[in-house]
Amino acid sequence: CRCRAQAVDCSGQRLAAVPPELPLDTGNLSLAHNRIARIPPGYLACYGELRVLDLRNNSLAELPAGLFAAAGRLAQLDLSYNNFSHVAADAFAEARALRRLDLSHNPGLRRVHPHAFRGLAQLRDLDLSHGALGALSLEALEALPALVSLQIGGNPWVCGCTMEPLLKWLRSRVQRCSSDSQVAECRAPPEVAGAPLFSLTEESFKACHLTLTLDDYLFIAFVGFVVSIASVATNFLLGITANCCHRWSKASEDEEI
């Protein structure tokens, strides 16, 4: 690794594991472009001055619990280009000073827990682009009062009725979503496939708010009653017909005898 002032650069060294010892005053640590698949629990416990941690382009699928317990000054965390499939509840809760979080280009990232970003009151920039997200809980974003930039393009969004609350929140709270609108597209349902996510309006979700009136319920009940009576009558007629056929067949046999 290359050390300069408080910056430690271990990027591009084909490391299969994190380096065991670093200067205690490390403020900027780059472990990018390696083969790291696991970070030991408590690895950052001695590096209370750490402000920037770059773990992009590794083989990480999860982070150990309590990893950021001593990282009270961590402001930037880059986890892009890894193998995360989900973001667990309270995954970054101890990194309360975090201002930028990059989870982009995790091709298997399908789920973000509603409490994944709880505790990140200072987070301003969140990148969830180019993953496999079809939906995102509004509760996860409501935990980020300082959020001003959100990147979500490149995901296979399912733009059904459940997407409406999220879109309303994005329009009212996020200031720079327009920069991401060209690559954020709906994958389903078929009628909106390929449409930019932010092109959907309240009219797009009009069918989600259709409600039945009393007349509608009465009509449905009447139709159900009529269908039931018709079914009973049909079964009755079929029964009579079958009985007549049976008697006729039996009478024919008696005549032959």
> Which H or E element spans position 3?
strand 2-4
Kindly state the average pLDDT of the residues 140-145: 92
pLDDT in tens, 53-81: 999 999 999 999 999 999 999 999 999 99
**pLDDT of res. 79:** 98
At 126 the three-state DSSP class reads: strand
Reported as type and span, the H/E element at residue 116 is none
Give the pLDDT confidence score for residue 103 in this predicted structure: 98
Query: CA-to-CA distance for 23 and 230, rounded, in angstroms?
Result: 85
Listed residue (114, 113, 77) closest to 95, CA to CA: 77
Q: What is the mean pLDDT of the chain?
A: 84
| pLDDT for the residue 163 | 83
The set of residues, in sequence order, having a beta carbon less than 8 Å from that of 82 and lying 6+ positions away, is: 55, 56, 57, 58, 59, 60, 61, 106
Q: Is the pLDDT of residue 200 over 90?
A: no
Could you give the count of Cα atoms lying within 13 Å of 102 in the half-sphere of its Cβ?
17
Query: Token pair of 114, please?
Result: 């509603």
Q: Does a structural domain hold residue 217?
A: yes
Domain membership of residue 124 (yes or no) is no
Cα 114 from Cα 106, distance rounded (Å): 18
Query: Considering the domain boundaries, does residue 180 fall inside one?
Result: no
In a domain, 177, yes or no: no
Q: Retrieve residue 122's tokens.
A: 């200072």
Of residues 44 and 194, more confidently modeled? 44
Give the pLDDT of residue 78.
98
Q: Per residue in 143-192, pLDDT tens?
A: 999 998 889 999 999 988 888 888 888 777 655 554 565 678 888 888 77
Answer whether residue 84 is part of any domain: no
Domain count, the chain: 1
- Coil, strand or helix at 185: strand
The domain of 249 spans 211-256
pTM: 0.77
